Amino acid sequence: MPDHPLAFFLTWVCYGTWLHGDERESVDKATNQFGEPRLPFNPAQKASRHKQLAHPPYSLGPRKRGVTFRTIQQVCEHRKWRLMELNVRTNHVHVVVSSAASADKTLADLKAWCTRRLREAGLLGKQEPAWAEEGSTIWLWTDEQVAEKRRYVRDEQGPDLLME
């Protein structure tokens, strides 16, 4: 097996839009390993987490999606990363990318540049967070894994959303 995967499947969510206790289930540091059960639906926990938010939840309308989409394309082009698939939704982003950097660095760089560009466009306040902490980094070792994640990002996210 090679030392570096063919690509990464990266996912991150908007701040405050997917809290522990959510009906979609979630993971935390203790349950963020392959095969570990997710945290179950818990309305009380979700309500408690919502009260702890320092800012209102952030979501991506058409203009914010456009800025995010174009920024990811530009960063990948500048860094010479191969952007294989990209889908920017109202509350999360999926990217399949081949990068010489680590998965964590690739994810952090994309989130940081998107945050910067959203602020420059006046679509995010100076202290307001756009994204939840961290994100999901899945390593794709085979052509089949890459193809499956590309299909998922391209075909299984619902209808295309408008972007400006």
* Domains along the chain with CATH numbers: 7-16+53-155 (3.30.70.1290)
pLDDT reading at 31 higher than 50: no
- ∠147-148-154 over CA atoms, to 5°? 85
Other Cβ atoms less than 10 A from the Cβ of 119: the count is 15
Yes or no: say if 25 and 37 are a contact pair by the CB < 8 Å rule.
Answer: no
Whole-number Cα distances in Å, 26 to 56, 58, 68: 20, 18, 24
Tokens linked to 122 = 């006046």
Q: What is the pTM of this model?
A: 0.84
Q: Which residue has the higher pLDDT, 59 or 34?
A: 59
> What average pLDDT is seen over the chain?
86
Q: Tell me the C-alpha distance between 128 and 59, whole Å.
A: 12
pLDDT at 143: 97
